[in-house]
Each structure stands twice: as structure tokens, then as C-alpha cells.
Amino acid sequence: MNLFSILIADQPLADPAALPPAIARNLASLREHHPGLPHRLYDQPAIRDFLRTHMEADVAWAYEQLLPYAYRADLARLCLLHEFGGLYADLSVFFHAGLPLDAGKMIVFRDRAVVAPWIVSNTILGAPARAPALEAAIRMIVANCRSRYRGASSLCPTGPVLLGKAIALHCEPGQIHLGEVSNLAQRSDTESLAFIDATDGRLVGYRAKRAAGLQELGLERGVNDYNDFYYAHLSYAADYPVLVGADYLARHGRTAAALEDGQLAYPGAPARGGDTLDTVALCHLPIPFAAGRYRVLLELTDAAPGAALTLVALENGSGQALARADHWLAGGAAQPALALDIASSRKDIVIGVLSASAAPLRIASLRIERPQQDNEWAPA
């Protein structure tokens, strides 16, 4: 049996000894209460290598389809346990007691039934290798990636709701060592989670953070929040392209154009000399970005011949330029583009449409594409 932990971030784990103190302490508690068992902390390159070596091609494909890193970790933990058997624990868990990994049972903590009556936590999960429920859950995630399934909440596509369904369908009660998750805060806006062994009432451990994400554990950059993606309808790579309509640009951005028949009509501005640019539209995009390559296209239904246009991506707040593309238009409909290389997960990108000429424009939308990334497999 093995002990598994997962840290998925934009950059590989350069030095495990440099982990934030809270994470290092939690991992030490996992090892302390399960002595003699090998422990490995998997980063993203290690997970990709494992999936492509040990799992079927469509599982590796599904991993790349999942944009939230928590969703990727959901799939990876199931695959590791299915292949090797053992115990998985999130980086947020501090252990007070060990769990019986030698019993040959699945170790499952029943979660609070806020979404579905069969929900179980996947924060701590134990299983023997080749457990049928794990295989079923993996296949369900692959199917969800194909259909871009959303479900009733952000816990449905890959996590506790899906896992609970697989366990209910493929496990008998005698095959489960049962635990309970309790929110000690007893509040809807704060989670103070304790994991209790239901067989004897022992406190197994607690979650050392109050909400989703790894920021409270000291990881400020290179990680993302699955809720941001779910509520932006961007759980899967195939959810791209995203269209940001002219009405959104008008309501939530700053523009010198008027909204006419669902389009932004820019009348032009007096020509200026030098490198002066006039703002046509400036808007904070309403979506999060995982690290990777993107392409932003401005959907123009009409532009005057010779119109000069600049697209820029800026960091919200600081105004720091992330990318820029200058275009000279031939007239009529056009799709000037901006290549956007996102090095670190973020949700603070502002797109600007700037004009260097007096020519009028009509803007239908912004189209944001996510081309296939270098490390992704083609659809299985």
C-alpha cells in the first residue's frame, strides 16, 4: 500500500523541501500516522507521465480536458489508487490518527448531503488496487469530459457527487470502512471540517483551511479555483471558444462606442499624430484562465478600409501590458487577433480595443479560443 499526495500548479514542483510550512506539516502528519508506507507527492509532470504509462489513452486525454486543477487532481487520485492501492489525502489535511489500510476495504468519509444523498468526500480516500468503484468513477469522468457534463454543482463533474455515485453502485456495505465529515463551524459561510472514524468515533484529522483553493495553505500563485471555472461554464477545454458579446462590453467595460442592434458602433475619432491611441472598448474579461496559450479575436461586422486597430491584454489594476497586436484593416468584416500566452493561472485580464485612426468600426463580440496545447493529446 502507498500514500499519495498531489500538487498541481502551473510550474513543476522544483524543491519539495521548499513547500509552504502548512503543507509540509500536513504531509508529515500523514506519514507519521501511517509509518512504514511509501509516500509520494505527485506534481503535474509526474501525473502526466503516470497517466500515459499506466492508464488508457482516453484517461490521459480527459485529464487535459479538465481546466480546473482540482478536477485534474480528482481524476489523478482515482487513477493512482486504482493502479497501486493505498491512501490519498489532500494537502490540506492534518492527521491525528491512522486508517486501517490493511483491511482491504475502501475507506470513505460520508460528506454532508448538500447536493446529493450519496455524496462522499474525496479529501481522504483509501482503496485496494483495482477496486471496481474506482474504475467506474474514472470511466464516468471520461464520459463527462466527452459530454461536457455540468451537473447540479461544481462537485458533480469529477468530485464528491460522482465518487459517491460510483461507490453506491459498486460497493457492498461490508466492503467499506466508513467515516464522517463534520463541519465544526456549524456555519454556511465557513468550513471547519473534521474527519471522524464512524467505527469508533476517533478524530482522524481536520482540514486546515476554510474554503476551496490552496491560497490559505501558502500557495498564492500558479494554482486556480475550480468554482471560478464552473460558474464561468469553463470546466472543460472543449467549452472554448468563449464569446463575450458587445452588450457585455458595453455594460461592464469602458467604451467610446454606442450599443446599436446588439453591436458596438464606434463613430471614429479625430485623427491624431504620433502614437496616440483612442480607447474604443476596455473590459475586464469575465472568465478565469488556466496557464496556456489563447487567441482573442475581435469580431468586426464592418470596418472602414485602412482603419488602424490595436488589441492589448492588460493586468487588471496595474495596467501592465501582457500582449499587444497592431492591425491595419482592409475594410468590411474582419477578425483581428491577439495571441495571449498565459504563464500563470489568473482571472484579472483586461482586453482593450484601441484605435489609431478616425475610421468607424462595428464590433459584434470578442471570441476567445484555446488552441490545443503542446502537452495535450488529440481527442480519444
How many other C-beta atoms lie within 10 A of the C-beta of residue 22?
A: 18
Grid cell listed for 345: 493561472
Domain with CATH 3.90.550 in the chain: 2-237
Structural domain 240-369, CATH architecture = Sandwich (2.60)
Whether the Cβ atoms of residue 62 and residue 101 lie closer than 8 Å to each other = no
**Among the four given CATH numbers 3.30.1490, 3.30.70, 3.90.550, 3.40.50, the one describing domain 2-237:** 3.90.550
Whether the Cβ atoms of residue 265 and residue 256 lie closer than 8 Å to each other = no
Dump strand ranges (E) for 38-135: 39-42, 86-89, 93-95, 106-110, 120-127
User: Mind listing the pLDDT tens digit of every residue in the chain (380 residues)?
Assistant: 899 999 999 988 888 888 999 999 999 999 999 999 999 999 999 999 999 999 999 999 999 999 999 999 999 999 999 999 999 999 999 999 999 998 899 999 999 888 899 999 999 999 999 999 999 999 999 999 999 999 999 999 999 999 999 999 999 999 999 999 999 887 777 788 999 999 999 999 999 887 777 888 888 789 999 999 999 999 999 999 999 999 999 999 999 999 999 999 999 877 666 677 889 999 999 999 999 999 999 999 999 898 899 999 999 999 999 999 999 999 999 999 999 999 999 999 999 999 988 889 999 999 999 999 987 776 66
Dump strand ranges (E) for the chain: 2-6, 39-42, 86-89, 93-95, 106-110, 120-127, 176-183, 193-197, 203-207, 242-245, 254-255, 258-260, 263-266, 278-284, 292-303, 308-315, 321-328, 337-342, 349-355, 361-369
Domain with CATH 2.60.120.260 in the chain: 240-369
State yes or no: cis peptide before 241, omega within 30 of 0: yes
Output the CA–CA distances (angstroms, integers) from residue 333 to 37, 46, 302, 361, in the order listed: 64, 46, 5, 10
CA distance 344 to 289: 8
CA distance 250 to 366: 12
| One-letter identity of residue 319 | G
CA distance 310 to 324: 7
